[in-house]
Amino acid sequence: MTTAHRSADGIVYRLARPEDAGAIEAVDGSFTTDTVFEVAASGGTDDGVAGLGFLLREVPADPPLYKEFPPEEHDEQGSGGGAGTGGDARTYVAVDGGRVCGFAAVGYAAWNRRLTIEDIEVSPGHRGRGIGRALIECAADFARERGAERLWLEVSSVNAPAVHAYRRMGFTLCGLDTTLYGGTPAAGEQALFMSRPCR
């Protein structure tokens, strides 16, 4: 997507501009959930190797879990991938009434023909309106333009609302890392990897 387009409800989707940097940083990606995903090793031994599999189970969070993400730096055009530069990274924004209400930062890797959704956030007051889905479709358009075979992302096991949203968008679980967040404020959470074909 090289030009902006407007949805039926007036949201404009376009490539980020340098002046969007502060607004992108200000998007509130926090969430509250009453369920989380629990990861446990499963299976016995096979040729002397224990724990060959993992079990993923959705369990209640009582009390509900509130999660805020630490501030990150967002490159408003991706890593050198501004509009018209032919780069392999982009940041798309959703704009409502002149204000950024969501964004998706993505990057394409030619070696495995995969487009990674590095970060995607929609402000709380705009959730449930299809903005995340539209941003994913902006990413999918870029993926097809680059010849990607798959869209890929990582999500925390405690972010059940996002996992469910990604599943509705056609993503399936393709892997996990039980140690990715070690030594960070998210220690104890597991990284779930999800992907979908570029259609």
CA atoms of 102 and 123, how far apart (whole Å): 6
pLDDT at 50 (0 to 100): 60
State the pLDDT confidence band at 9, using cuts at 50, 70 and 90.
Answer: confident
State the Cα–Cα distance between residues 95 and 103, nearest whole angstrom: 9
pLDDT given at position 44: 60
pLDDT in the model for residue 184: 93
**Per-residue pLDDT reduced to its tens digit, 57-103:** 999 999 999 999 877 644 444 433 333 334 799 999 999 999 999 99
The string of pLDDT tens digits covering residues 18-68 is 999 999 999 999 999 999 999 987 776 555 566 568 889 999 999 999 999
139 CB contacts (<8 Å, ≥6 apart)?
90, 92, 104, 106, 115, 117, 151
pTM of the model: 0.87
CB burial class (10 A; 0-12, 13-18, 19+) of residue 180? Answer: middle
pLDDT of 7 reads 79
The structure tokens 């993503």 sit at 171
Per-residue model confidence as pLDDT tens digits over 141-198: 999 999 999 999 999 999 999 999 999 999 999 999 999 999 999 999 999 999 999 9
The first and second tokens of residue 162, run together, are 């996002």
For residue 5, the model assigns a pLDDT of 83
